[in-house]
């Protein structure tokens, strides 16, 4: 199975769509749907299971055979003001999932620290990440997580065998329907 966290969000649902296009339906989605229209992002998608984020680690510990985890879950609102909630969801939760993947990989395939980090390479270094000046809580929380990962790489500490991080924006995409007041001003005038 492939687990996609944040699967009801714009990017997560498109990852599920690509997996479906590749013939993969053995997907477990992890997200909160809430009372807004986030579910619409998944209405054309097929998945084998759904787990809420607060139950994810118990679900993972129940012995599921997970091939890959694509972690897109975060509070991505650039207007978020609750720092505790943002750090809990974007930093603590992501770190907990990273640690789970690292330990699970080491448990299933025992290897030395050197081997466990052999596929990890850094495109942007710790100093470059430290130099970033986030404009909001969302950016700050993601920067803090990036610093932890970059520090682990620099110190040769174990990580999952394939651990990749990306930074990207969805604001200019006209299909990003759930951002509401955070839509790009380019969308407003097009």
Catalytic residues: 138, 179
**Quick one: which of 10, 12, 43 has its CA closest to 30?**
12
Distance CA(36)–CA(178), nearest Å, equals: 8
**Quick one: which of 145, 153, 99 has its CA closest to 125?**
153
Give the C-alpha distances (Å, rounded to integers) separating 111 from 62, 104, 117, 158.
Answer: 24, 12, 10, 10
Helix (H) or strand (E) holding 5: strand 2-5
Burial of 17 (0-12, 13-18, 19+ CB in 10 A): middle
């Amino acid at each position: 199975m492939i687990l996609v966290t944040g699967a009801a969000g714009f990017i997560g649902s498109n990852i599920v769509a690509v997996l479906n296009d590749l013939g993969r339906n053995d997907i477990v989605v992890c997200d909160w749907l809430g009372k807004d229209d986030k579910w619409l992002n998944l209405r054309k998608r097929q998945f084998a299971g759904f787990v809420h984020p607060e139950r994810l680690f118990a679900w993972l510990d129940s012995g599921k055979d997970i091939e890959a985890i694509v972690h897109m879950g975060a509070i991505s609102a650039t207007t978020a003001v609750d720092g505790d909630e943002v750090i809990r969801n974007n930093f603590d939760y992501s770190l907990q999932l990273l640690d789970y993947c690292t330990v699970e990989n080491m448990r299933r395939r025992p290897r030395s620290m050197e081997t466990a980090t052999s596929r990890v390479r850094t495109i942007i270094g710790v100093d470059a990440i430290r130099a970033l000046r986030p404009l909001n809580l969302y950016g700050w929380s993601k920067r803090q997580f990036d610093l932890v990962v970059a520090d682990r790489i620099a110190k040769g500490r174990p990580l999952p065998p394939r651990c990749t991080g990306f930074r990207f924006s969805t604001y200019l995409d006209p299909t990003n329907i759930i951002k509401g007041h955070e839509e790009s001003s380019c969308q407003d005038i097009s």
